[in-house]
Amino acid sequence: MKEDLEQEKRTMIRTWSKREKEIERVLHNTTGMYGDIQGFIGKSLPQIKLLEIESEEETDEIREDTL
């Protein structure tokens, strides 16, 4: 029973790791695409707060909001 639990735990950790990498890749690609579009369009592109460069204080606020 303990072996089954350990195997299930390893499987879940592997699955979470894959998902985390997928999310990071999507965020990276989205940020890059937003930057590319911003380069073409300029300031007329609506700001997306989570994709903008932010100060350390703003980062802390966003983290608090997501908790």
Does the pLDDT at position 63 exceed 70?
Answer: no
Mean pLDDT of the region 26-51: 87
Does the pLDDT at position 23 exceed 80?
Answer: yes
- Residue range of the domain that includes 17: 2-66
Mean pLDDT of the region 4-27: 96
Does the pLDDT at position 50 exceed 60?
Answer: yes
Burial of 51: CB neighbours in 10 Å, binned 0-12, 13-18, 19+: middle
Buried (b) or exposed (e) across 6-28, using 16+ Cβ within 10 A?
A: eeeeeeeeeeeeeeeeeeeeeee
Domain total of the chain: 1
Q: Token pair for residue 22? A: 């997928």
